[in-house]
Amino acid sequence: MCGIVGYIGNREACPILIGGLRRLEYRGYDSAGIALLNHEGNLNVYKEIGKVANLEAHLADKDASGVIGIAHTRWATHGVPSVRNAHPHLSQSGRLALVHNGIIENYAPIKQHLSEQGYTFQSDTDTEVLVQLIEFCQQRDNLPLHEAVRRALNEVIGAYAIAVVDRQEPDMLVVARQSSPLVIGVGEDNSEFFVASDATPIIEYTNNMVYLNDGEVTCLRIGQEMQIHTLQNEHVDAQVQFVDMSIGSIEKGGFDHFMIKEIYEQPQSMRECMRGRLLASRHEVVLSAVNLHRAKFLQAKRIIIVSCGTSWHAGLIGKQLIESWCRIPVTVEYASEFRYSDAVVGPDDVVIAVSQSGETADTLAALQLARERGAFLMGIVNAVGSSIARTTDTGIYTHVGPEIGVASTKAFTGQVLVFAMFALALGREKGVIDTQTYEHVIDELSRIPDKMETVLRQNDYIADLSKRFTYAHNFIYLGRGYNYPVALEGALKLKEISYIHAEGYPAAEMKHGPIALIDGEMPVVCIATHHQLYEKILSNIQEVKSRGGRVFAVVTEGDESVCKLADYCIQVPETLSPLAPLLAVVPLQLLAYHVAVQKGLNVDRPRNLAKSVTVE
């Protein structure tokens, strides 16, 4: 989704802004632009279609100077990708430049009104309407920029993170947010400020950050405390947080792509996620979320998990873990459907939102609905300080580190691990899980990182196998029980980055329809690790083989039966069924990665996709 970067200080803004846009490239975009302002009030705007590199090339022979600037990567919503529709957008007089992430829902009536006042529009965007509205308020009431922004935003319905500069006030940068993320980095003694959609472009300059809340407008001036006001003009004190993130964690570190780096990081990210929570020597799981809200969780009549995409798949595994170990009924809902449903939710329910970015618009809206109906809200989030983390009553961070590759990998295993620890802790509090199982799972969880390392050693073999599948136009993924969501996740990974159509099914469902698709051209990925349904999935594999399908199986080390039938077998170490997804998903991530690499595709930034889906 769109990315915003802003700077005000005494350095040249352009390199900071371009570097920042590069750091936000992972979010997905189709055009990029920059506006630079100097203290004399010269405002220049440059835009290009395509990559940030195109914008950089365009700037090469320009005098791109200025100590205040705003920059943007656009992911088209209103109007096709084009230079005309790219941000920054200028106001009618050319005095204001604005970048925007989000959607102004009532842009049409505002546009109509402004047209009647003589305003004309150069683009098809909702954003241009907003910048014209700000100028209209500014001129009508003779207001300073920050006040005009506040007035204009009071007339707007929708989601936005914005940054605005004014060539007649070349000493300030004004930013605001409503339902779209925005972070401000604070330089020493307020000597400079950095603005961005997330912390990644800022972290190389400062760890001190302020996360704006919804409905806040902020005026940034060099050497002065930032001034934050609500839309109702109440003053808000800035809460500066120290964000503990290293530059190394957002760079590729010798890998060809972020995705493969992040797949390889999983043993370590599992350790980070368990640190201080899974106390193996004491056979204990300690989660402050559960300890602090014990009564809420013990009273819960039902748990509702809301999420999207990969996070929804993790939720499906979470459901099985919680139902098994806590005996609380769980439903798993697509956040996008839940938000518009007439869901029966109330004070006896706990709603768990699962999200890597913590900014997914549908998930946030689902939480809003649950909040209105009195449910207790918990987040399982990766991005520290993100909107979902701040909206929920409590939460458990996955702590797997920044995930830059658009296809989610380590976030998924982190989410599953958090669900496992949560279900253990709550099952223990409820006295439902027996001591032997509790301790056995804890022991086994502590071995998962090493076992993942064993799986990763098969990377070269999987890379080699992937060459045999690049021809395919369709894949089927089959799994049962805990491995059914793994089948869904494997199929999603392949679709996203290799553009091969893939479907995941519970294996037994195959004979109710999808079996008609199977022929010698159809690769079928079967997740057939040892568990109670092993014999059943063996029969399903037989059914595929007898129709000529090519089977790629993920099995437990030492397996003989499936390996005799399958065309290709990847072995993963033995573990408990409920933890099998943590190992079984890794070969599927690698398979998707290598097929996409073989096809020469842009693995980290697949077409049409955004890392952080901040619009509905």
Nearest residue to 610 (alpha-carbon basis) of 316, 82, 180: 180
Q: Which is nearer to ligand F6R, 568 or 593 (CB)?
A: 593
Q: What are the angstrom distances between the C-alpha of 392 and each of 40, 241, 385, 426?
A: 45, 18, 11, 18
Residue nearest to ligand F6R (CB): 309
Identity of the residue, 300 or 585, whose beta carbon is nearer to ligand F6R in the bound complex? 585
Nearest Cα residue to 87 out of 27, 129, 44, 47: 47
Nearer to ligand F6R, 107 or 477 (CB): 477
DSSP SS3 for 372: helix
Pick 427 or 504: Cβ nearer ligand F6R: 504
User: Does the annotation mark 611 as catalytic?
Assistant: yes
DSSP-derived 3-state class of residue 598: helix
Q: 479 - beta bridge partners?
A: 506
Q: Which of 2, 14, 137, 273 is catalytic?
A: 2
> Residue 218 or residue 310: which is nearer to ligand F6R going by CB?
310
The C-alpha atoms of residue 274 and residue 272 are separated, in whole angstroms, by: 5
Task: Tell me how many degrees the CA angle 72-75-78 measures, rounded to the nearest 5.
Answer: 105
177 or 313: whose CB is closer to ligand F6R? 313
Q: Identify any residues that bridge with 524 across adjacent strands, giving them in sequence order.
A: 476, 551
Smallest gap from Cβ 318 to ligand F6R, in A, equals 13
Shortest CB 412 distance to ligand F6R, Å: 8
The least CB distance from residue 613 to ligand F6R, in Å, is 5
Parallel, antiparallel or unpaired: strands 376-381 and 349-355: parallel
CA distance 525 to 270: 25
Question: CA 22, 265, 318 angle in degrees (round to 5)?
Answer: 105
Strands, DSSP E only, in 38-168? Answer: 43-49, 68-74, 89-90, 96-104, 158-166
Four-CA torsion 214, 157, 77, 615, nearest 10 degrees: 40
43-49 vs 89-90, strand pairing mode = unpaired
**247, 387 Cβ separation under 8 angstroms:** no
Give least dist CB 337 to ligand F6R, A: 14
**Rounded CA separation 51/346 (Å):** 47
Beta strands in 25-115 (DSSP E): 31-37, 43-49, 68-74, 89-90, 96-104
Our CB check for ligand F6R shows the closer of 266 and 363 to be 363
CB of 76 to ligand F6R, least distance (A): 18
Which H or E element spans position 5? strand 3-8
Active-site entry in 51, 261, 296, 611: 611
- CB of 120 vs ligand F6R, minimal distance in Å: 37
Q: Is 2 a catalytic residue?
A: yes
Smallest gap from residue 343 Cβ to ligand F6R (A): 19
CB of 314 to ligand F6R, least distance (A): 9
Instruction: Return the number of the residue (1 or 326) whose C-beta is nearest ligand F6R.
Output: 1
Contact positions vs ligand F6R (CB under 6 A): 308-311, 355-357, 360, 363, 407-408, 492, 496, 613
- Of 455, 390, 398, the closest CA to residue 421 belongs to 398
Active site residues per annotation: 2, 611
